[in-house]
Amino acid sequence: MFDVEKLEWMREPDSYDIKADKIEIITKPHTDLWQRTYYHFRNDNAPVLQMKTSEKYFSFTVKTGFESKHRFDQCGIVMYLNSDNWLKASVEYENDDFQHLGSVVTNHGYSDWATTAIDASIKSIWYRLSRREDDFCVECSEDGKLFSQMRICHMWEAINEISFGIYACSPENSSFKATFTHMDITECKWSAHDGQQPDAE
């Protein structure tokens, strides 16, 4: 069960509203999360709303709605441990034709970015973040029923307690309203691997 009373802000935004079944965030201009790779800059000022857990196996699901209209506007799920270790998944607005549905994984101070283009008319996406110890699976869905894998990743610093939740930001000079609903925490929906056996140590 998802309890908003357990959420804590990192970099609290000026404008937001938190209810048991809906969270709204108005983004501030020039806010983002990125570390070093390719662009060579370090941006670490996006508002992040998270809760802590030591549970090693679980899934967190949320539906995002976004009124984004400016390049790089984004909102989605996040697991933020510290400036150098975090992951996020979001839809990032690009132009009137397409957006980037993607995820960023940052380990030890270096980010990567995996994306696919989706139509700019899409204004709502579901995400599911699943943990199996220090490995994670990020999935997305348009209807909240059929989820597709976006990526599997390892987080080196996700050893015991982690923090996870939602975020929204506007890297350029813009602002928009991000809405989060249908937030839920369940048993891990990411099944244990039952195929090829791991290599012997």
Q: What is the pLDDT of residues 87-113, one digit of tens each?
A: 999 999 999 999 999 999 999 999 999
Segment 54-76 shows an average pLDDT of 97
| Whether pLDDT at 200 is above 80 | no
Confidence (pLDDT) at 40? 85
pLDDT value of position 193 = 84
Q: Residue 194 — very low, low, confident or very high, per pLDDT cuts 50/70/90?
A: confident
Over residues 2-28, mean pLDDT: 97
For range 155-169, the mean pLDDT: 97
Considering all CA atoms of the chain, what is the largest pairwise distance in Å, rounded to the nearest integer? 53
Q: Give the model's pLDDT for residue 89.
A: 98
Cα distances from 188 to residues 5, 48, 133, in angstroms, run 22, 23, 11
pLDDT at 133: 97
Sequence spans of domains, the chain: 4-186
Architecture of domain 4-186: Sandwich (2.60)
Percent with pLDDT over 90 in the chain: 93
pLDDT of residue 48: 98
The CA distance from 61 to 65, in Å, is 14
| pLDDT at 20 > cutoff 90 | yes
Query: In whole angstroms, what is the distance from residue 194 CA to residue 48 CA?
Result: 35
